[in-house]
Amino acid sequence: MKLQEEINKRKTFGIISHPDAGKTTLTEKLLLFGGAIQTAGAVKNNKITKSATSDFMEIEKQRGISVATSVMGFEYKGKLINLLDTPGHKDFAEDTYRTLTAVDSVILVIDCVKGVETQTEKLMEVCRMRNTPVIVYINKMDLDGQDPFDLLDELEEKLDINVRPLSWPISIGPTFKGVYNLVDKNVNLFSSNKTKIERDVVTISDLSDPKLDELVGKYADQLREDVELIEGVYEPFEKKEYLEGRIAPVFFGSAVNNFGIREMLDTFIEIAPNPKAREAEGKEVMPTDENFSGFVFKIHANLDPNHRDRIAFLRVCSGTFERNKFFHHVRLDKKMRFNNPTSFMAQEKNLIEKAFPGDVIGLYDTGNFKIGDTLTEGENFMFQGIPSFSPEIFKEVVNGDPMKTKQLEKGIAQLTDEGVAQLFTQRMGNKKYIGTVGELQFEVIQYRLKHEYNATCNFHPLNFYKACWITSDKKDILDEFVRLKSNYIVNDKDENLVFLAQTRGVLQITMDNYPDIKFHFTSEMN
Ligand code: G4P
């Protein structure tokens, strides 16, 4: 098959949500629709539960499960869909941000009772940075949730994106009757059904059809009013605007009851983008370029201490990846080939011979890869970096065993290459600071240093509020700033300059005092 045809068949996306909104449930139902799994309950384990926060083995076990289910491929209506899993746990938010760089669109799940939650806002910020197209699925309509119009307003206000409902709930909570499809103009009646994926669609000629009153009783008039209001307030849905990340179509449903999912999936198939062009240094790489290219967005350590190898997750961006063919590892300037690359089909890992743009493949790695690495064929270039965001918790690494300094350094370097946490090195004095978004990572680091590198370390808490990457067109001003603030200046892993601010106030004053210096809140500094 021609490359173009392979590209046209593929859609690669991620599901994001605040924990508990229903991401796992929706994922599972999508896989049921795609025939990738036969029974409900198969994906359920793929999340780090709250109770696991201090049970290392449990975390490790769950991390293990998440390798198998990190990428789930399934087919639906002739399309090959790659669903990339994103950890919902807040402490693993960085992992989610990175995964979002490897998808072409997202489905955002909102709990209709809780509305927009903190994690939702952060994740949407990341989507907006790349203008990632978003489809919203408002879940749990069988519960007494907020008024749908209020939910739409809240989405627009808190997520800074225009929305357009494409389906509309008929009542909500215990009296939830179903949804009206605003595009096909038919009614899908709700039946509480957790295992089957059939649906009960009733076509009505138009909203004035008396059949509607028979079907939903007193809620028919409310629906008529609502639809009139929607058509009056919201502009018609334009696919182009969705693809540019300017408008998000909204669907209502109940994931656990398999409800409202098919409507969304059918629309997704129609409108979601195929693998897109990607920015590399100074150029756009088209998926149709005959030469293969791809980048690593996730690295997963092997949990078996006897096998130190890791799995690097590579997103194919252009051309055709082939097993055992030599490609170029750009950062190391090294030819590499892969004997046992894997694809991920739902729960299984399969050896693959070829992969195409949009696909994610697992490459066994013995320490050659770090997050953001690029593989190419022919021309050499690096894909634009995967951004790091300012950590929220900072601690200094204190060696627990001076005889094992080398092991500790290697362990810290490798774990931070994997993206478990960010490493900052003090410019004066060479102290090492670790920055994370959650406490959980410190426990994971300590545990893994001990078990995989035979090193011990302690952490001293540091009182920093934020890390800002700093740049300036005026080199002398930047040099002077670095000299004056030397105690607060560190290098990130790529030797970029980073300013550690102790408080929000200090940061504000510093920014006011140094207008010629740019303070960036992510490592993406353009
Ligand atoms: P997450 O991955 O986003 O964290 O959420 P998950 O799918 O695990 O769903 C969180 C909880 O919400 C689960 O209940 C799930 O059953 C429930 N849920 C998902 N969709 C719906 C829905 O449409 N309606 C209602 N009423 N509940 C829904 P749990 O009690 O945490 O787990 P479980 O024991 O029921 O599986």
For the purposes of burial, counting CB atoms within 10 Å of the CB of 47, is it exposed (0-12), middle (13-18) or buried (19 or more)?
buried
Phi-psi region of 445 (alpha: psi -120 to 50; beta: other; left: phi over 0): alpha
pLDDT, tens digit (0-9, with 9 covering 90-100), for 1-36? 699 999 999 999 999 999 889 998 898 888 888 776
Angle ∠(372,378,384) on CA atoms, nearest 5? 25
Residues in Cβ contact with 349 at an 8 Å cutoff, skipping those fewer than 6 apart: 68, 342, 343, 362
- 366 C-beta neighbours (distance < 10 Å), count: 9
**Rounded distance between C-alpha atoms, residue 137 and residue 148, angstroms:** 12
Over residues 141-169, mean pLDDT: 95
Q: Which atom of ligand 1 is nearest to the CA of 259?
A: 23
Look at 468 and 192; give whichever has higher pLDDT.
Answer: 468
The SS3 assignment for 395 reads: strand
Residues annotated in a binding site for GTP: 17-24, 85-89, 139-142
Cα–Cα distances (Å) from 321 to 304, 312, 325, in that order, read 28, 15, 8
**ipTM, 2 dp:** 0.97
Among the listed residues 370, 355, 40, the one whose alpha carbon sits nearest the alpha carbon of residue 197? 40
Cα–Cα distances (Å) from 97 to 34, 298, 387, in that order, read 26, 10, 8
The response to whether residue 153 sits with its C-beta less than 6 Å from ligand 1 reads no
The response to whether residue 30 sits with its C-beta less than 6 Å from ligand 1 reads no
Residues annotated in a binding site: 17-24, 85-89, 139-142
pLDDT, tens digit (0-9, with 9 covering 90-100), for 75-91? 899 999 999 988 767 77
**Rounded distance between C-alpha atoms, residue 519 and residue 470, angstroms:** 5
The response to whether residue 256 sits with its C-beta less than 6 Å from ligand 1 reads yes
- 271 C-beta neighbours (distance < 10 Å), count: 18
Look at 50 and 295; give whichever has higher pLDDT.
Answer: 295
Query: Considering just the CA atoms, what is the radius of gyration of the chain in Å?
Result: 25
Q: Tokens 């790489």 appear where?
A: 285
Confidence grade of residue 280 (pLDDT, cut at 50, 70, 90): very high
The response to whether residue 24 sits with its C-beta less than 6 Å from ligand 1 reads yes
Least confident of 2-6, 65-69, 293-297, 422-426: 65-69
The response to whether residue 29 sits with its C-beta less than 6 Å from ligand 1 reads no
Over residues 185-209, mean pLDDT: 72
- 43 C-beta neighbours (distance < 10 Å), count: 26
Question: What's the CA-to-centroid distance between 426 and ligand 1, angstroms?
Answer: 44
pLDDT > 70 in the chain, percent: 88
**Rounded distance between C-alpha atoms, residue 388 and residue 434, angstroms:** 13
Among the listed residues 451, 448, 450, the one whose alpha carbon sits nearest the alpha carbon of residue 420? 448
Least confident of 39-48, 134-143, 196-205, 509-518: 39-48
Confidence grade of residue 225 (pLDDT, cut at 50, 70, 90): very high
The response to whether residue 436 sits with its C-beta less than 6 Å from ligand 1 reads no
Over residues 336-348, mean pLDDT: 78
Residue 49: pLDDT above 70?
Answer: no
pLDDT, tens digit (0-9, with 9 covering 90-100), for 400-445? 898 999 999 999 998 898 888 999 999 877 899 999 988 888 988 8
Over residues 458-484, mean pLDDT: 95
